[in-house]
Amino acid sequence: MDRKSIEMAASETWKIKSPSREFLNLPKDERDVIDEFLGECPVRLGAMAARLGIKVLISTLPRGTSGRIEQEGDQFVIRINRHEAKHRQRFTLAHEIAHYLLHRDKIVASGGWSENVLLRSGQPQNIEYEANRLASDLVIPSNLLANATTEIEGPITSETIKSFARRFGVSEAAMEIKFQMM
Ligand SMILES: [Zn+2]
């Protein structure tokens, strides 16, 4: 959407997308760990990964590879391409944490996954959709965003989207997805 149509759509009515079923269906012990980090903006994804026992390395990866996740010994390791923009690195990290939470048996079975710049690892598309939905809940927790929107008056505009994107450390596209225009 161009700026004008975003403002028009936004001047109608909107709401924040509910947490995904992937998020709501996580086992309670993992939800409890994750919830510790979802009250603070931007979400400290590196600390969340560490609490989950995942090692995160900012690495030089082949061109066209945004991230990689694999098991090394008894630990999961996520590598993030150091040459990509910060908000991209954050979303890639959230996507890999989501794969860890949802798909770690499959990751182990196939010897680790590398993700291209579209965050596709060669797995079936639904696997990537699941990871993206959960990743969105990790980088833009619905409650935090709901709190943030209480500060604004009037419609959500492209300026609002831009400022929220900065605050949460995500792309404007990721932020737009989180708002559901009615
Ligand atoms: Zn993926």
pLDDT in tens, 21-56: 999 999 999 999 999 999 999 999 999 999 999 999
Burial class (CB in 10 A: 0-12, 13-18, 19+), 41: middle
- Banded pLDDT at 152 (limits 50, 70, 90): confident
For residue 72, the cross-strand partners are 75
Mean pLDDT of 116-143: 94
The rounded percent of the chain whose pLDDT value lies above 90 is: 77
**Nearest CA-CA partner of 182 in 154, 162, 159, 156:** 156
Distance 44 CA to ligand 1 centre (A): 20
Distance 61 CA to ligand 1 centre (A): 16
Residue 75, both tokens: 């630990």
Give the pLDDT confidence score for residue 99 in this predicted structure: 98
Distance 40 CA to ligand 1 centre (A): 25
Q: Output the CA angle 141-146-149, nearest 5 degrees.
A: 125
Distance 88 CA to ligand 1 centre (A): 13
Distance 2 CA to ligand 1 centre (A): 28
- Banded pLDDT at 12 (limits 50, 70, 90): low
Give the pLDDT confidence score for residue 36 in this predicted structure: 96
Read off the pTM.
Answer: 0.89
